[in-house]
Every structure is written in structure tokens, then in C-alpha cells.
Amino acid sequence: MDDFWSGVGVDLHLEPDVTAGRRAGLERALRDAVREGRLAPGTRLPATRRLAAELGISRGTAKGAYDQLVAEGYLTARQGSGTEVALLPAPSLEVPGEAARARTPRLDLRPGSPDVGSFPAAAWLRALRRAIATAPSSAYGYGDPRGRIELRTALSGYLGRARGVIAPPERIVITSGYVQGLALLTRVLGGAVVAMEDPGLPFHRDVVRRGGGTVVPLPVDERGARTEELAAVGAGAAVVTPAHQYPTGVTLHPRRRRALTDWARAHGALVVEDDYDGEFRYDRQPVGALQGMAPGQVAYLGTASKTLGPALRLGWMVLPPHLVDAVTDAKLHSDHHTEVIGQLALAEMITGHAYDRHVRACRLRYRRRRDRLLDRLGASRNVRGIAAGLHALVEVTDETETVARARALGLVVGRLGDHWHTPGAGRPQGLVVGYGTPRERVYPEALEVLGRVLEGA
């Protein structure tokens, strides 16, 4: 047999059923491979001589099968260019109405995402090239479940100077995002009672419950989480967003910050600090992380999702010493380790200060967006949570009616009512407006529509 597999440029796996003849069997095998997508449009097929040698058939049989499929439109053949898979119309898999439900809204002011159009593609590409050029060959193998030492070292310096986190590299674990970090901690805590802010993100409560934890509400008021209620609920852990509470936007009061860490020390409990948008503070320097006050009781969780983009799937945990081994073992048996190339690129961006420059540029851009929101709504509406972050809370009297009116005009916003542990009458109502989400070119129109909706409320 000649060097078929090394010379054709592609590997082609076919098992023709020759019951009805060799040519018919080959035609059917090729036709099925194209229909099922195993042979993608544009794939160049082996020459008939090589295909015939591999399958043990005559070249005439192979050529006849190709000619038939060209005639049927499955393949294309051009002189000197060989035979390729043709582009076929994609079958519709949608059920009626599904496309309309899944369609991206024209104007999106929902919270939870940055402006992904501002991703620093050029800076990321430069960092990626430098990282790949200098990475040792061991970087492409299985690695430490805690993550690459390059990124853990870079984060140690960055989190210390930018967020006030005490973060030795050996206590940092890289994750695929906040959700994975929260799930790993819940697993390690082994069915603990976990207090979670009320209101808060429902999906995060689901993560804790699926990990075996029992969720109890921790009420939030204008000073943040009401830490005085922790002892009464018997929690072994508390999940908080102290820098900029989601969704109310309040900052945890200094007295309550101290009370929270005192509670953790006194009860041997764990505080999980979600610092999801801690870099974005507009009225003064960002509030330092809670972890710096009690590194032995606080697990600090951060991500690149709000600064760079959720698609990177890069997050980090800074753990109390007694949890490092247990979380590392859970990570090992969860996904072995987080992908490496992105870790190396992010480490390069941080050490080269491109990450700082990007964060500063984003902070300026989002502050301008916040100011435009206030200019449009502030005079007539109570807009809260505006000192930091990527969202604001706009009070309304009937959020259901207001959201419906906005949707009718092509605008979607978040609802405060979706965030309560137990929705019900008498709860405060409001819109959770994510001013970081839309692209720059559509943001003015989104604000204008929101203003008209609220003026009619």
C-alpha cells in the first residue's frame, strides 16, 4: 500500500456497504458523510487513485462514485483543483416561534455583561504571541490544577496593589470563572448552610444548591448585607458582594465589614467574597477587598469576565490556607486544570501593564455611560447604585408593566423582582439597568427608549 494517509492532506474514514455493489456502497457512504456533516463544505477529497488504493477498489469505481455525487450536487470538481464537498443548504432545526424567542434583542440594557465590543483584541494578540514564543514546552502538557505559576504570580502582584488582597501564589487557584469557583467551594464545604444576599443572583443560589449546600437569605438594605442576622440563621458560610452589591448597587458599610469578619472568626465560618466588578469605582478609588481584613476567613473570587469578556473563561480564587489542598483536589477531579494558553496571555498582559491600561480605559468609558444614564433619568427618577459597577437600579412602581412596555419598543432590561429569594407582594420594585452591555453605537438609542418608557410610567 502506498503512503495514502500521509499524502492526501485529510484523513477520510469510510466504511462502504458493498451489499448492493462497490460503487453504490461508496456513493452511499460519501453521501451520508456529507449529509451528516462529517465531511464539511470545502473539504478536499483524496484523488481517485489514492481512494481506490486505500479501499481496495478500482479507480474507475471511485471515479464513477465521485461523478455521480457531483451530478447530485454533493461534490464539486474543477480541473486542476480536485474534488471538494459542495456547500449545501442547512436544514432548519427550529420549531415555530423558537427563533423569535431566541433572537437577540435590538436594544439590550440587561445587567451581567460588559461591552464585549471593547475587548482589547490587539493587546490580547500581542500578549498571546509573546506568551507562546516564551512558554516552555511543559506548558502544553497536563499541569498544576491550581493553574500556571506565571498567572498566579502575576495575579499575586496585581490583586495586592489594585484590590488590597493578600494573595501569595500558592494560595491562588485558577478557575474557568466565578461559577466554577463557587461550585468547588460548596463541594468542599460539604453541605453547609450558606447565607446568600437577598436580593441576589438566582443562578448563584442554584449553583450552591446543586453542590449540596442549603441556601438561606441574608437581607440587604442601604448599608449592604445585614450581617447581624448571620448568627441567627446558623450559616457556616456567607456569599457577599461587598464592593458593589448585586443588584442593589450598595457598598457594604465599614462597620458591617468588620462585623462580617468577626462573625467568621468567632464561628469558624467562611466568607466568600464575589469581587465581580470591583475595579469599576467612579466617585473615588475602588474600595479595597474584604479579604485584606481577614485572609484566613475570606475566600476571594474574581474573574476577567467584566474587565475583558466572559468568553475567556478565566477566574481566580485566593483561598484561606486551610482550604487550598481541598479545593485543589476538587479542581483536579472536576476538570483536571483550566486551559493554559489564555492563562499565559493574561499573565503577559498583567505583567506588561496592558491589563491596567485596559481597565483604566474601561473605567473612563463606563463612567461616561453612567453619567449619560443619570443625565437622561436622574432628574425624574430615583437611580441607585451608581457609585460603581456596570449597572444601576431604577425604582419604578410597577416593574411588570414597565418591562412589558420596554419590550414592546425593542428594549430589554433586568427586573429587581427576579432576584428575591421569595418573590411576593410588598417587595421594592425596580429595573436593573446594565449600562455596560450595549455596543457604543446603540447605547444612546437604548437610553432614549428607556427614558420614554419611564416617562410614560
* Whole-angstrom distance, CA of residue 146 vs CA of residue 165: 18
Give CA–CA dist 244/385, Å, rounded.
Answer: 8
Q: Which of 446, 427, 449 is nearest to 438 (CA)?
A: 446
- CA distances, 140 to each of 42, 135, 176, 309 (Å): 30, 9, 18, 24
Rounded distance between C-alpha atoms, residue 374 and residue 381, angstroms: 9
What is the grid cell recorded at 87? 456547500
Q: Which domains are present in the chain?
A: 4-85 (1.10.10.10), 107-115+362-455 (3.90.1150.10), 119-356 (3.40.640.10)
Copy the grid coordinates of residue 324: 487550598
In DSSP terms, which residues pair with 125 in a beta bridge? none
Cβ neighbours, 10 Å, residue 440 = 12
Per-residue pLDDT of the chain (457 residues; tens, 9 = 90+): 344 334 444 567 777 887 878 888 898 889 888 888 888 888 888 888 888 888 889 999 989 899 888 887 889 987 777 888 888 765 544 444 444 444 567 799 999 889 998 999 999 999 999 999 999 999 999 999 999 999 999 999 999 999 999 999 999 999 999 999 999 999 999 989 999 999 999 999 999 999 999 999 999 999 999 999 998 888 999 999 999 999 999 999 999 999 999 999 999 999 999 998 888 888 776 678 999 999 999 999 999 999 999 999 999 999 999 999 999 999 999 999 999 999 999 999 999 999 999 999 999 999 999 999 999 987 667 898 888 889 999 999 999 999 999 999 999 999 999 999 998 767 889 999 999 988 889 999 999 999 999 987 5
Query: What cell was used for 411?
Result: 428594549
From the list 432, 411, 439, 445, the residue with the least C-alpha distance to 106 is 411
Say how many CA atoms lie within 13 Å of 154 toward its Cβ: 21
- DSSP lists the bridge partners of residue 217 as 196
Q: The cell 418573590 sits on which residue?
A: 423
Residue 369 CB-density burial (10 A; 0-12 exposed, 13-18 middle, 19+ buried) = buried
Helix (H) or strand (E) holding 217: strand 214-221
